[in-house]
Amino acid sequence: MGEVEKVLRSQIFRGSPKKNKILRYASEEVLLGNTITEKQIGIQVFKHSYDPAVDAHVRIAVAELRDMLRNYYANEGARDAVLIEWPLGSYTPKFSRRTLDWNVELSGYSGEVAVHQPASPIHEIASLADRVFGENEIALSWLREPNPATDNQAPLDLLATSHGFDRVKNLLLRIEYGVLA
């Protein structure tokens, strides 16, 4: 629970007591080996009787939590060894260890991005690619190889500008959500 408490103390999670309560409750249940439902979260966090058919509080809060976690790991938690992710369609968070040291892998990259772009955006894209592709080696290969969707340039080559960064991030999010057209 130390990793959860670290996330909850972060700037991003300050001032969000309901979301903090959801993350703490769901994390405790996961550590006990339990799967969590929307209704369980609704009862534990919002009120004693909760009907998912008529109340969307939990769905909205979990979607916001998912975004808050992404924001946390792209910024304050960029170097955390343990990741807490909340998969789409699930009310059960997943805990995993980072298996690739992006600092080491990307430090050998000699493209323009290494000179012109601060490390944080690179790590945000690297973490996003890792999440999207599920395997670090595939993510790293995708970032380094020319791609038709990026005008046959390596996505890493585009990170030298804010426009290129936005383009690569948008492409990864489209892949993640299955919006390829």
Tens digit of pLDDT per residue, the chain (181 long)?
688 999 999 999 998 999 999 999 999 998 888 889 999 999 998 887 888 888 898 999 999 999 999 889 888 888 787 888 888 888 999 888 765 444 444 444 444 333 333 345 677 888 888 888 887 788 888 988 998 988 899 888 887 777 888 899 989 988 888 876 5
Q: What is the pLDDT of residue 181?
A: 56
Secondary structure class of 97 (helix, strand, coil): strand
Q: How far is CA 149 from the centre of its chain?
A: 22
CB contact set of 24 (below 8 Å; sequence gap of 6+): 4, 8
Say which DSSP state 68 is in.
Answer: H
Q: What is the pLDDT of residue 120?
A: 56
Q: What is the pLDDT of residue 104?
A: 41
Domain boundaries, the chain: 2-97, 102-177
Q: What is the pLDDT of residue 140?
A: 85
Sign of CA dihedral 109, 113, 114, 115: positive
Q: What is the pLDDT of residue 105?
A: 47
Secondary structure class of 4 (helix, strand, coil): helix
Q: What is the pLDDT of residue 69?
A: 92
Q: What is the pLDDT of residue 1?
A: 66
Say which DSSP state 150 is in.
Answer: G
Closest of 45, 82, 80, 77 to residue 60, by C-alpha: 45
